[in-house]
Structure 1
Amino acid sequence: MSYYPPNQPPYGGYAQQGPPQGPPSGPPPQGYHQPPYPTQQYGAPPQGHYPPPPQGHYPPQQGHYPPPQQGHYGAPPQGSPYGAPSPQPPAGYHAPSPQPPYGQAPHGYAPPQNQPPPGGPGFPQGPPPVGYGAPPPGGAFPPQAVPSTPSLGYIPGQVAPGEFRPQAEQLRKAMKGFGTDEKALIAVLARLDPLQMAAVRDAYSKHLGRDLYKDVKSETGGYFGDGLLAVVEGPLMHDVESVHLAIDGAGTKEWLLNDILLGRSNADMNAIRTAYEMRYKRSLSKDVENDLSFKTSDLFATVIRAARHEESMPINPQVIEADVRSLQGKKNITETCAIFARASNAELRAISQTFQSRYNTSLEKHIEKEYSGHMEDALLVMLRSATDPAMRDAILLDECMRGMGTKDERLVIRVVRVHWDRNHKEMVKRAYQHRFGKNLVDRVRGETSGDYGRLMVALLE
Structure 2
Amino acid sequence: MDRLSVSGNRPDLQNIMPGGMPGGFPGGGLPPPSPLLEAYQGVYQSISPMPQAMMLDDDDIDHLQPLDNLSPRESRQSVHGRHRAHSRSGRSPSPLPPSKRKDKLALEAYNSSARDPYDPYDPYSDRDRRSNDRKKEERRARVYDAEPDALAIVDALSVRTPDLDTLIDILPLLSHDQMLELRTEYKRHCKVQGRGINIAKHIKLKTSGNFGKIAYVTALGRYEGEGYWANYWYQSNSARRELLIEALMGRQNHEIRAIKDAFRDKRYSDSLTKCMDKELKADKFRKAVLMALEGERQEESDVWPTEYRNRDVDTLYKALKAREGGESAILGVVVMRSDAHLRECLRTYERKYQGSFARDCLRKSNNLVGEVIAHILNGVINRPARDAMLLHHALMDLIEPTSTSTSNARSSRENTSTATAKHERQQRYELLVSRLVRLHWERLHLGRVKAEYEEKYGRMVEEDIEEATKGDFREFCIALCQTGR
TM-score, normalized by the shorter chain, greater than 0.5: yes
Report what 2:173 is aligned to.
Answer: 191
Residue 282 and residue 201 in structure 1: after superposition, are their counterparts in 2 closer, same or farther (change >3 A)? closer
One-letter identity of the residue aligned with 1:167: D
Q: What's the offset of the Cα at 1:195?
A: 0.7
Determine if the alignment matches structure 1 residue 284 to structure 2 residue 272. yes
Residues 306-315 or 363-372, more deviating: 363-372
- The one of 177, 187, 193 equivalent to 1:205 is 187
One-letter identity of the residue aligned with 1:429: K
Residue 241 and residue 319 in structure 1: after superposition, are their counterparts in 2 closer, same or farther (change >3 A)? same
One-letter identity of the residue aligned with 1:349: R
How big is each residue's C-alpha offset from its partner over 1:301-335, in whole Å with a ceiling of 9 and x where there is no partner? 21111111111211321111121222223141111
Report what 1:446 is aligned to.
Answer: 467
Residues 425-434 or 323-332, more deviating: 323-332
> What pairs with 1:38-437 in structure 2 (closer than 5 Å)?
82-86=51-55, 109=69, 161-209=143-191, 210-211=196-197, 212-248=199-235, 250=237, 253-276=240-263, 279=266, 280-281=268-269, 283-290=271-278, 291-329=280-318, 330-331=321-322, 332-403=326-397, 404-405=400-401, 406=425, 407-437=428-458
TM-score under structure 1 normalisation? 0.64
Report what 1:455 is aligned to.
Answer: 476
Larger relative helix fraction: 2
Tell me how far apart the structure 2 counterparts of residues 227 and 189 of structure 1 sit (CA, whole Å).
Answer: 10
TM-score under structure 2 normalisation? 0.61
One-letter identity of the residue aligned with 1:317: T
- The alignment's C-alpha RMSD in Å is 2.9
Q: What's the offset of the Cα at 1:108?
A: 8.2
Tell me how far apart the structure 2 counterparts of residues 162 and 298 of structure 1 sit (CA, whole Å).
Answer: 42
Q: Secondary structure at the match of 1:227?
A: helix
Q: Secondary structure at the match of 1:307?
A: coil
Structure 2 gap ranges (5+): 1-49, 71-141, 402-424
Report what 2:3 is aligned to.
Answer: none
User: Contact conserved, 1:285 with 1:301, CA < 8 A, in 2?
Assistant: yes
User: Contact conserved, 2:200 with 2:217, CA < 8 A, in 1?
Assistant: no
User: Contact conserved, 2:265 with 2:271, CA < 8 A, in 1?
Assistant: no
Q: Answer with 1 or 2: which has the greater Rg.
A: 2
Q: What's the offset of the Cα at 1:218?
A: 3.1
User: Contact conserved, 1:418 with 1:425, CA < 8 A, in 2?
Assistant: yes
One-letter identity of the residue aligned with 1:377: E
Task: Tell which has more relative contact order, 1 or 2 (C-alpha 8 A, sep 6+).
Answer: 1
Tell me how far apart the structure 1 counterparts of residues 450 and 290 of structure 2 sit (CA, whole Å).
Answer: 33
Q: What's the offset of the Cα at 1:249?
A: 5.5
Q: Secondary structure at the match of 1:306?
A: coil
Residues 161-170 or 353-362, more deviating: 353-362
Name the count of aligned residue pairs: 323
Residue 312 and residue 221 in structure 1: after superposition, are their counterparts in 2 closer, same or farther (change >3 A)? same
Q: What's the offset of the Cα at 1:82?
A: 4.8
Tell me how far apart the structure 2 counterparts of residues 248 and 100 of structure 1 sit (CA, whole Å).
Answer: 39
One-letter identity of the residue aligned with 1:287: C
Tell me how far apart the structure 1 counterparts of residues 170 and 262 of structure 2 sit (CA, whole Å).
Answer: 27
Residue 333 and residue 192 in structure 1: after superposition, are their counterparts in 2 closer, same or farther (change >3 A)? same
Tell me how far apart the structure 1 counterparts of residues 236 and 206 of structure 2 sit (CA, whole Å).
Answer: 26
Q: What's the offset of the Cα at 1:414?
A: 1.1
Structure 1 gap ranges (5+): 1-80, 90-95, 111-159
One-letter identity of the residue aligned with 1:288: M
Tell me how far apart the structure 1 counterparts of residues 283 and 371 of structure 2 sit (CA, whole Å).
Answer: 15
Report what 2:14 is aligned to.
Answer: none
Percent of residue pairs bearing the same amino acid type: 24
Residues 332-341 or 431-440, more deviating: 431-440
Q: Secondary structure at the match of 1:301?
A: helix
